[in-house]
Structure 1
Amino acid sequence: MITLIERANSFSERIAIKSDGQNYTYNRLLEQSASVAAYLLQDQKDLNEARIAFLVPASFSYAAVQWGIWRAGGIAVPLCEKHPLPSIQYVLEDTKATTVIYTEAFEELLSPLFKSTNIQFLKYADITPKKCELPTITLDRRALILYTSGTTGLPKGVVTTHANIEAQITALTTSWEWNKNDHVLNVLPLHHVHGIINMLSCALWSGACCEFLPKFSPKAIFDIFSKDALNIFMAVPTIYFKLITYFNELPQNEQLAISDHLSKFRLMVSGSAALPVSVLEEWKDISGHTLLERYGMTEMGMAISNPYNGTRRPGHIGQPLHGVSIRLADENNNAVAVGEQGEIQIKGPNVFKEYWGKPDATAETFTQDGWFKSGDIAIFDIDSYQILGRNSVDIIKSGGYKISALEIEEVLRTHPNIKDCGVVGIPDLEWGEIIGASIILKFGELSTDDLTSWIQEKLPAYKTPRRFVFQDDLPRNVMGKVTKNEIKKLFI
């Protein structure tokens, strides 16, 4: 059985989710997810790992749909609210999704696909209360496909089983001492492991409350903080940067009041990108909290964390989480000596099953003895790991997202006036990195405004280059390979 859902019966009258101004109990979540499951099953006994995509805002409805898919035996494929139609269509085609559940807010966006595909589109509002016998789901079944960019360019579907998810949840609930009296504010996208596992699933596993704020606003966040209901907050460095900026513009009396509210939290976490030490120090001055940095990926959930109880060292990610094994290895996958840098490699029940439909890519990312190769370089320094960087210049970490430069380059090259291009990450205090693109034109000129407008029809906003440089040719080495570090120098 799915332990996460079974545990909800022990918390039936407690508030599971706060969203859209309403409180929803665990019992309500169980009832609504059962109706979703029954509606999906129709006359079937089991969805047998059919891929069910859904485009639903961060809310009680999201949780009910996710659980409903799982309870019917399907694989949940959450879609990103901010993605343009081509990005959504790619996921639907890659997973061969049979059904898409959506809310009215996304009807216009999805409408071009209603008649052009064989996918069943189901409006969430049309799901009526319904009961049927639900299948027994074993933990070894595939549960979730989340998309992540890799060095192959196009996003890959990361497949996790119910057992993987349970391991990811228990690693965090054990290490961070989650309990039923916790109350977390979830402001992150729910097509990403940070929002889905670290906050929503950990809260629901623990009998705690997960509150949603669908639209980001520093003022709205501080207003919720002032109610003294929350005791856990997690965000990416970009959000902390924005909160600090807003805080610094407030009158001193409001600042003092906010600091008093923040001092009552038990845990504040930063992740999904490197946290600048300056941001950590400024937030500590504001809140009294040293942000807990942790390290993870879509492929494994969280793997390393600074201690909940103990010293948190700026610029470090801490020690392995409960149940996770870590080693640093050289380019031949041999463990390096303490004090030497190496690639972070992970082994444990938290590690994903496969990349959807890509057996070669799956095999390439594991060593022969079963270690997952993260691609991140680190060193073990005194008592904790410190990230040194990527072993590939083609992965850009911006605002909590891991973005493939190769994917953006492929899109740019489809422009009728672009001959070639090179995309790089540019260091940025607020975003971690922003995207820069070196453009080689076929003829004439091209304004950056026109190019930006064109790209935004093809890619999500967070994948859109923020800075451009136009060159006669790209810098290359003697082998003809583009030297991206030389491109970076043009921006820095």
Structure 2
Amino acid sequence: MSPSLYTLIEASLPADRARTAIEAPDRSRGPRIWSFSDLLDTTARYAALFVRLGLSRGDRVALQTEKSPEALAVYLACLRGGFVFLPMNIAYRADEVDYLVGNAEPALVICDPSLEPVLSEVCTRRAVPNLLTLDPDAGGSFIDAAAGVTGEVEPAECAADDLAAILYTSGTTGKPKGAMLTHGNLASNGLALRDSWRFTEADTLLHALPIFHAHGLFVACHCALLSGAKMIWLRKFDREDVIRELPRSTVFMGVPTFYTRLLSGEDFSHAPVSHMRLFTSGSAPLLAETFEEFRARTGHAILERYGMTETGMNTSNPYDGERRPGTVGFPLPGVEVRVMSDEGAALGAGEVGGLQVRGPNVFRGYWRMPEKSAEEFTSDGWFRTGDVAMIDADGYVHLVGRAKDLIISGGFNVYPKEIEELIDDMPEVLESAVVGVPHADFGEAGAAVVVLRAGRHLDEAALIARLKDKLANYKVPKRAFFVEGLPRNTMGKVQKNLLRENYRNACEAG
């Protein structure tokens, strides 16, 4: 048996447990300060409460609350006691929650008080034995129940393959799939990131991400906890709050939308980030234009990396060395990547194919979906990511798109990212997305959905004419549509499934 991820985290914290672990600014009431001792004590009480409620090792604990230090302590209590953590997006509606609760069968659900009426019905219908509430200001029945708990729950010893968390993927088709992440998956990835990104207890991480997602919960929190770094804990991204807190921070992690919002005003420049050592970006592609503008404005090169719910982080641009815009860097320590043809042949530098990964970071499979799990792995143990990629001659990984985003037009493969990059380079364009829609003659054709810069004009004919000068005709979208903004999920990813549905009849006339 190896130590649990919790034991590894506890051993990584500073010797001086009175140091600040989390500072949660509050404009109206002043900051809430948690020392590392506070965090450990709270975690121990929560784990003891779980036992008092009748939970056994391996039982699931579902959490649907706003971001708070207490929510993080719930996660750590699961790790401490050998329970399985199930975070749920606060924005999920009744039907979505009903499916997840029915599928995961948690022994305890903790929700925001505003969601209790809905969750009460779900938990009754799904025979969940325990439902408690937790609000972001440290109130609710969960806090009340934990207040009087005494006694210790010794940190569970766990094998690397023991389950630590289930995160449901936001698949574009079918029901969400529960990715089973083990103590070994999370520990190996957390240590690889901590070391690759040079985290130490001298760091202060400005945390503005949600924690129902792998980016905010695992990437950000594990880097801090496994190095003993302090976190400034914002409930959400607020441009004013971020700019105010940056001078007290050393690391910031964001999605591309965070960076475009920071750059949207002239008040953001080199001054507030002069002592920052690292900005990272993930969860969605970072435009090369955003990378270059950020570097010109601040002097910092954003470090882009690549991961997914099922694997944690797979690759990263280097901490030392060239961070190339438009790439996601090299495999992290312990992770292998390869690009394969549809026929299963390994492809060489510059060739485009399916990206596969292998390593201790790769998940155990999908919860209660053994057939689906088996489909996603090759016979020699590599996980099929579903991403289309190319590895260049220098070893940098370039993501071309998702396999499901591939357009097959008249028998030819069309990769949307190639077209999107050309559209995004047009001076009138802010951003774009290209999706495949049904076409009478070609089976499928591209439709471009474009957001223009304020005050700029471009029409469909002109856009398509420019693309015809640069692309083979089969790659050129048959239609172009101009919109105020692209639909995105909570992590900033463009929801191409919605675009495909909205524009499915765009080429009906052929």
TM category (shorter chain) comes to: 0.7 to 0.9
Structure 1 residue 43 displacement after superposition: 7.4
Spell out, residue by residue over 1:214-267, the C-alpha distance to the aligned partner (whole angstroms, 9 max, x if none): 133211211112xx210101111112112212x24xxxxx44xx5212121100
Q: Please give the alpha-carbon distance, in whole angstroms, between the structure 1 residues aligned to 2:22 and 2:131.
A: 26
> Counterpart in 2 of 1:125?
143
Stretch moving more, 153-162 or 111-120: 111-120
Q: Please give the alpha-carbon distance, in whole angstroms, between the structure 2 residues aligned to 1:287 and 1:87.
A: 41
Q: Please give the alpha-carbon distance, in whole angstroms, between the structure 2 residues aligned to 1:290 and 1:240.
A: 12
Spell out, residue by residue over 1:138-185, the C-alpha distance to the aligned partner (whole angstroms, 9 max, x if none): 133100011113364211111100111001101111111111111111
Q: Please give the alpha-carbon distance, in whole angstroms, between the structure 1 residues aligned to 2:110 and 2:181.
A: 21
Superposed, which structure 2 residues align to 1:86-485 within 5 Å?
86-113=95-122, 115-119=124-128, 120-123=130-133, 124-126=142-144, 127-128=146-147, 129-134=149-154, 136-138=156-158, 139-150=160-171, 152-225=173-246, 228-245=247-264, 247-248=265-266, 254-255=267-268, 258-383=269-394, 384-393=396-405, 426=449, 474=505
Query: Which of the residues 42, 45, 51 maps onto 1:35?
Result: 45
Q: Secondary structure at the match of 1:125?
A: helix
Q: RMSD in angstroms over aligned alpha carbons?
A: 3.2
> Counterpart in 2 of 1:479?
none
Q: Please give the alpha-carbon distance, in whole angstroms, between the structure 1 residues aligned to 2:374 and 2:242.
A: 43
Equivalent position amino acid for 1:231 in 2 = T
Q: Please give the alpha-carbon distance, in whole angstroms, between the structure 2 residues aligned to 1:369 and 1:336.
A: 16
Distance 1:211 1:201, change over 3 A: same
Q: Secondary structure at the match of 1:150?
A: coil
Equivalent position amino acid for 1:389 in 2 = G
Q: 2:210, 2:236 within 8 Å by CA — same for their partners in 1?
A: no
Q: Please give the alpha-carbon distance, in whole angstroms, between the structure 1 residues aligned to 2:192 and 2:353.
A: 24
Q: 1:14, 1:207 within 8 Å by CA — same for their partners in 2?
A: no
Structure 1 residue 110 displacement after superposition: 2.9
Query: Which of the residues 73, 94, 100 maps onto 2:82?
Result: 73
Structure 1 residue 470 displacement after superposition: 7.6
Stretch moving more, 97-106 or 307-316: 97-106
Q: 1:174, 1:322 within 8 Å by CA — same for their partners in 2?
A: no
Q: Please give the alpha-carbon distance, in whole angstroms, between the structure 1 residues aligned to 2:289 and 2:303.
A: 14
Distance 1:346 1:212, change over 3 A: same
Structure 1 residue 104 displacement after superposition: 3.1
Q: 2:347, 2:353 within 8 Å by CA — same for their partners in 1?
A: yes
Q: Please give the alpha-carbon distance, in whole angstroms, between the structure 1 residues aligned to 2:122 and 2:223.
A: 35
Q: 2:60, 2:86 within 8 Å by CA — same for their partners in 1?
A: yes
Q: Please give the alpha-carbon distance, in whole angstroms, between the structure 2 residues aligned to 1:461 and 1:236.
A: 9
Structure 1 residue 57 displacement after superposition: 2.2
Stretch moving more, 2-11 or 70-79: 2-11
Q: Please give the alpha-carbon distance, in whole angstroms, between the structure 1 residues aligned to 2:212 and 2:406.
A: 22
Q: Please give the alpha-carbon distance, in whole angstroms, between the structure 1 residues aligned to 2:285 and 2:72.
A: 29
Spell out, residue by residue over 1:42-84, the C-alpha distance to the aligned partner (whole angstroms, 9 max, x if none): 175x722111101232221011101112222210001111222
Q: Please give the alpha-carbon distance, in whole angstroms, between the structure 2 residues aligned to 1:424 and 1:53.
A: 40
Q: Secondary structure at the match of 1:65?
A: helix
Q: 1:38, 1:134 within 8 Å by CA — same for their partners in 2?
A: no
Spell out, residue by residue over 1:190-212, the C-alpha distance to the aligned partner (whole angstroms, 9 max, x if none): 11111011111110110001222
Distance 1:294 1:133, change over 3 A: closer
Distance 1:284 1:371, change over 3 A: same
Distance 1:100 1:58, change over 3 A: same
Q: Secondary structure at the match of 2:13?
A: helix
Distance 1:182 1:108, change over 3 A: farther
Distance 1:301 1:38, change over 3 A: same
Q: 1:17, 1:211 within 8 Å by CA — same for their partners in 2?
A: yes
Q: Please give the alpha-carbon distance, in whole angstroms, between the structure 2 residues aligned to 1:372 and 1:332.
A: 16
Q: Secondary structure at the match of 1:101?
A: strand
Stretch moving more, 150-159 or 93-102: 150-159
Structure 2 unmatched runs, 5+: 134-141, 408-415, 418-434, 436-444, 454-486
Q: 2:47, 2:80 within 8 Å by CA — same for their partners in 1?
A: yes
Q: Secondary structure at the match of 1:90?
A: helix
Spell out, residue by residue over 1:352-384, the C-alpha distance to the aligned partner (whole angstroms, 9 max, x if none): 011111111111111000001111111112321
Distance 1:427 1:48, change over 3 A: farther
Structure 1 residue 389 displacement after superposition: 1.3
Q: Please give the alpha-carbon distance, in whole angstroms, between the structure 1 residues aligned to 2:313 and 2:276.
A: 22
> Counterpart in 2 of 1:411?
none
> Counterpart in 1 of 2:23?
18
Question: How many pairs are equivalent?
Answer: 417
Equivalent position amino acid for 1:345 in 2 = Q
Structure 1 residue 107 displacement after superposition: 3.1
Structure 1 unmatched runs, 5+: 249-253, 398-404, 406-421, 431-454, 476-485
The normalised TM-score by structure 1 is 0.77
Q: Please give the alpha-carbon distance, in whole angstroms, between the structure 1 residues aligned to 2:101 and 2:9.
A: 27
Q: Please give the alpha-carbon distance, in whole angstroms, between the structure 1 residues aligned to 2:47 and 2:18.
A: 22
Distance 1:183 1:338, change over 3 A: same
Q: 1:49, 1:75 within 8 Å by CA — same for their partners in 2?
A: yes
Spell out, residue by residue over 1:448-484, the C-alpha distance to the aligned partner (whole angstroms, 9 max, x if none): xxxxxxx9xxxx998698879988x858xxxxxxxxx
Q: Secondary structure at the match of 1:57?
A: coil
Equivalent position amino acid for 2:64 in 1 = L
Q: 1:340, 1:379 within 8 Å by CA — same for their partners in 2?
A: yes
Q: Please give the alpha-carbon distance, in whole angstroms, between the structure 2 residues aligned to 1:461 and 1:349.
A: 26
The normalised TM-score by structure 2 is 0.75
Equivalent position amino acid for 1:242 in 2 = R
Q: 1:376, 1:388 within 8 Å by CA — same for their partners in 2?
A: yes
Q: Please give the alpha-carbon distance, in whole angstroms, between the structure 2 residues aligned to 1:171 and 1:67.
A: 20
Q: 1:5, 1:67 within 8 Å by CA — same for their partners in 2?
A: no
Q: Please give the alpha-carbon distance, in whole angstroms, between the structure 1 residues aligned to 2:127 and 2:406.
A: 35
Q: 1:269, 1:293 within 8 Å by CA — same for their partners in 2?
A: yes
> Counterpart in 2 of 1:442?
none
> Counterpart in 2 of 1:418?
none
